[in-house]
Amino acid sequence: MFPIPWLPFIPLCPLVASIVIFTMKPAWSRIAAGVAISAMAMSTVLAFAALSTTFTHPQVVATSFDWFSVGDQHFDFGFILNPLTGSTAAMVTFVGLLIFIYSAAYMEHDENKTCFFGYLSLFAFGMLGLVISNSLLLLFMCWEIVGLASYLLIGFWYQKPSAAAAAKKAFITTRIGDLGFLLGLFWVYRETGTFLFYHYGSGILEPGPLAALASSPGFWGFSAAGAISLLIFAGAMGKSGQFPLHVWLPDAMEGPTPVSALIHAATMVAAGVFLVARTYPLFALDGRVLAIVAWVGVGTALFAAIIAVAQFDIKRILAYSTISQLGLMMAGIGVGGPPIGMFHLLTHAFFKALLFLGAGSIIHGCHGEQDIRKMGGIARPMPVTTLAYLCGVLALCAFPFTSGYFSKDEILLSAWHSNPAIFWVAAIASLLTAFYMTRQCCYVFLGVYRNEEHRHPHESSWVMVGPLLILAIFALAGGAVAHMNGILEYLGDKEPLVVNSTVVVIGWIISLGGISLGFLAYGLRPLTATGSDPFALTILGRAFYLDEIYAATFGRLVTVLSYLAEIVDAILLIVTELLVFIAREFSLLFAFKTDRVVIDRWFFDDICSNLRSLGGVVTRPQDGLLSNYLRSIALGSLLLAILFWCCHS
Amino acid sequence: MTPLSSYLVLAAIIFFIGLLGALTRRHAIIVLICIELMLNAANLNFIAFWRFNPHPEAMLGPIFVLFSIAVAGSEAAVGLALVISIYRFYRSVDVEKMNALQG
């Protein structure tokens, strides 16, 4: 018996809410917001209850039951509860709840607010289902639901062509990764015959099947386990915006800001990291796979951090910073195992949600302006937002004793022990992170307000600022509290690494050095809206022309292929036209020869007219004359009498 | 005693007179009278066969004849009523003109 039978209700609450909301009239937006928020609050309570259960019982608790069978193939699904699930579900519900509340104010004047909350609830359902799923198949389905919700929400303002294009780009780019994930799914099913993670020793992540997977062959010298984990990692790369599939994430900022905060910073993009953490036993069978994960992660971290230095859109900077931090989480899992990456995921969710919501508040206050060159001096009119935002910035810069410091320190420490090269790349990425966040703060908060069109930025309402303050507390203190209470031992059963003073000092230097460099470059002189920016090179601003390169290579390839397809299509069209022509001629032949002669003439004209005249013959005796009838009766009786007489004599 | 065959021959003669009358005459009342004639020929047969039956105490023949006369009476009543209403409609009792039922 599963110890907590109410676990499925964590995702089911938002699902019910979304169904209810989708059946509502568009005008009932306040009720919709209320339904969504209360469902999320219920999920939050349940998720925290689940979390507290895992404190006392940290071992894996899994259940499974038969879902459907095709022939003799059985597909099960089930739920799982372990520290990974508990902590992630609690984070998703809590951050989600705050963002739901914030959205109620942020989307106040949007005419599709009802629909927006429906989508948000649908997303929460998918994300929480993904977290508690015990089956790779169920996880994949929830994975696609969050992908769908992400698509719908990025394209929420679909009247804007850029938003519609960004939604398509996000959906298609993640689909490329999902193709790998799907192949991995098929492969793992072929090898083990099950999708369950834990199932009394026969689940994918349990020792028996793992040993079988490790011994069967894969490709390129990897075992099946290695190949499958690489394919799963491809899915995770798409979802978590790892290089080279990261291109959709900056464009996804076209969506409403709460969506960016919830989906494209705190939760959905972390699903890839979560997936790798969940299937870590599979990855851990092959050191080379872990090295690939670590290098892809750290490469992405550095790459995105370099690009972020030259961005001017406040949300794009945060988007590239998200990519960079996701890279660090991947690297953390690669070098140190799930606890390291997941710890950063959890702290990052709080401070990145805070930063996005803060950015939303700033954009709201600046009348929809997103260009940091047109901001400036926001600190005075928006003090509360500024304070909360600075807390988030400090956490992201890994300023000592904020939450980001503890989690990033663990990643650096693991990297130091595992591979110094990875350590130095991660260190440079972190330095750049501190630098570009300070640059952004200088642009936004210092100096004078530079926007000519709208003069007066204003502070946002308390419904928006309240969640910011709660998140700010978590961004500052959450990491320390979690670290003191041994979150790493809680998340994984490995012994934590010994603290290395060199790493700690380098961490301090990186953080403080990045902030000071940024301040030296941007804080000391007054910034102007049109003034030159020494680091904003065009190549960086255009993100290394990666979109253009994709357009010139894959885009061109697709164009060529589509031309080819068009030619094939034309040939097929001619062939089909020919076939249709022949068939038509044949049918005409039949129509004019066979049909007219056989059916019309023989059947209708001949047989029918004969029947008709026969009918005339038959009806002729019925002339209505009584005496004739009597004559017939008499004749008939006479004939009967003769017959009778003949038969008896 | 008059033999059975004489009765049967008489009945047959009466029957055929009735049949010929019914087939050839055009007056509806004459046709009805001829039908009565045929019925009575049949009744005569019943009585004759009963009279020459070895068990005349079984009153089968007279009972049949009684029934037959009752049926003939009611038939004559219905027939005459029909003839009267036909006459009212067509102003004629000629059966050759009553051909509204022809197919």
**Cβ within 8 Å of A, B 34-93:** none
Contact A627 B22 (CB under 8 A): yes
Residue of chain A nearest B95, judged by CA positions:
A626
Angular region, A386: left φ>0, alpha ψ -120 to 50, beta rest: alpha
Instruction: Report which of A254, A268, A246, A243 is spatially closest to residue A166, judged by C-alpha positions.
Output: A254
Residue of chain B nearest A625, judged by CA positions:
B99
* CA distance linking residue B24 with residue A631, whole number of Å: 9
Q: B20 at the A interface (CB within 8 A)?
A: no
Is A255 exposed, middle or buried, given 0-12, 13-18 or 19+ CB atoms closer than 10 A? Answer: buried
Contact A627 B103 (CB under 8 A): no
Prediction pTM value: 0.73
What confidence score (pLDDT) does residue A530 get? Answer: 65
What confidence score (pLDDT) does residue B79 get? Answer: 92
Contact A627 B102 (CB under 8 A): no
Consecutive 10-residue averages of pLDDT for chain B (103 residues): 89 93 88 92 92 85 92 92 90 82 63
Residues 6 or more apart from B25 whose CB is under 8 A from it?
A: B31, B34
Is B5 exposed, middle or buried, given 0-12, 13-18 or 19+ CB atoms closer than 10 A? Answer: exposed
Contact B95 A626 (CB under 8 A): yes
Contact B26 A625 (CB under 8 A): no
* CA distance linking residue A428 with residue A520, whole number of Å: 18
* CA distance linking residue A585 with residue A10, whole number of Å: 65
Which residues in chain A land under pLDDT 70? 1-3, 454-455, 493-496, 527-541
* CA distance linking residue A181 with residue A235, whole number of Å: 5
Give me the phi and psi of A79, to 5 degrees please: -125, 160
Q: Which residue among B19, B96, B98 sits closest to A634, beta carbon to beta carbon?
A: B19
What confidence score (pLDDT) does residue A26 get? Answer: 81
Q: A558 at the B interface (CB within 8 A)?
A: no
Q: Which residue among B95, B100, B103 sits closest to A627, beta carbon to beta carbon?
A: B95
Q: Which pair of tokens denotes residue A173?
A: 């780019």
Asked if this assembly's ipTM is beyond 0.85, the reply is: no
Q: Which pair of tokens denotes residue A209?
A: 């099947």
* CA distance linking residue B99 with residue B103, whole number of Å: 10
What confidence score (pLDDT) does residue A481 get? Answer: 81
Residue of chain B nearest A617, judged by CA positions:
B103
What confidence score (pLDDT) does residue A536 get? Answer: 67
What domains are defined for chain B?
Answer: 4-97 (1.10.287.3510)
Contact B95 A619 (CB under 8 A): no
Can you list the pairs that A376-380 forms with residues at least 24 positions away whose Cβ atoms lie under 8 Å? A376/A443, A376/A444, A376/A445, A376/A446, A376/A447, A376/A448, A376/A449, A376/A450, A376/A527, A377/A445, A377/A446, A377/A447, A377/A448, A377/A449, A378/A444, A378/A445, A378/A449, A378/A457, A379/A445, A379/A446
Q: Pairing between strand A73-81 and A61-70?
A: antiparallel
Set of chain B residues whose Cβ sits within 8 Å of the Cβ of A622: 101-103
What confidence score (pLDDT) does residue B41 get? Answer: 94
Side chain identity at residue B89, one-letter code: F
Side chain identity at residue A442, one-letter code: C
Q: How far is A601 from chain B (nearest CA, A)?
A: 29
Q: How far is B15 from chain A (nearest CA, A)?
A: 12
Residues in chain B: 103
DSSP string, A111-154: TTHHHHHHHHHHHHHHHHHHHHB-BHHHHHHHHHHHHHHHHHHH
Q: Which residue among A624, A627, A630 sits closest to B101, beta carbon to beta carbon?
A: A624
Contact A625 B96 (CB under 8 A): yes
Set of chain A residues whose Cβ sits within 8 Å of the Cβ of B22: 627, 630
Q: How far is A614 from chain B (nearest CA, A)?
A: 14
* CA distance linking residue A112 with residue A470, whole number of Å: 28
Contact B98 A626 (CB under 8 A): yes
* CA distance linking residue A89 with residue A94, whole number of Å: 8
Do the Cβ atoms of B67 and B48 come closer than 8 Å?
no
What confidence score (pLDDT) does residue A532 get? Answer: 66
* CA distance linking residue A225 with residue A279, whole number of Å: 11
- A contact test, residue of B19, B27, B37 with most A CBs within 10 A: B19
CA distances from A566 to A555, A558, A561, A575, A578 (A): 16, 12, 8, 14, 18
What confidence score (pLDDT) does residue A529 get? Answer: 63
Give me the phi and psi of A75, to 5 degrees please: -115, 120
What confidence score (pLDDT) does residue A365 get? Answer: 82
Q: For the segment A81-120, what is each residue's pLDDT rounded down to a tens digit?
A: 888 888 899 889 998 998 888 888 888 788 888 888 889 9
Angular region, A447: left φ>0, alpha ψ -120 to 50, beta rest: left
What confidence score (pLDDT) does residue B23 get? Answer: 86
* CA distance linking residue A322 with residue A530, whole number of Å: 27
Q: Which pair of tokens denotes residue B5?
A: 């065959």
Rg over alpha carbons for chain A, rounded to the nearest Å, is 35
Q: Which residue among A619, A624, A634 sits closest to B100, beta carbon to beta carbon?
A: A624
Q: How many Cβ atoms from other residues are within 10 Å of residue A221's Cβ?
A: 10
Contact A626 B31 (CB under 8 A): yes
How many interchain CB pairs under 8 A, A with B?
33
Q: Which residue among B24, B95, B102 sits closest to A623, beta carbon to beta carbon?
A: B102
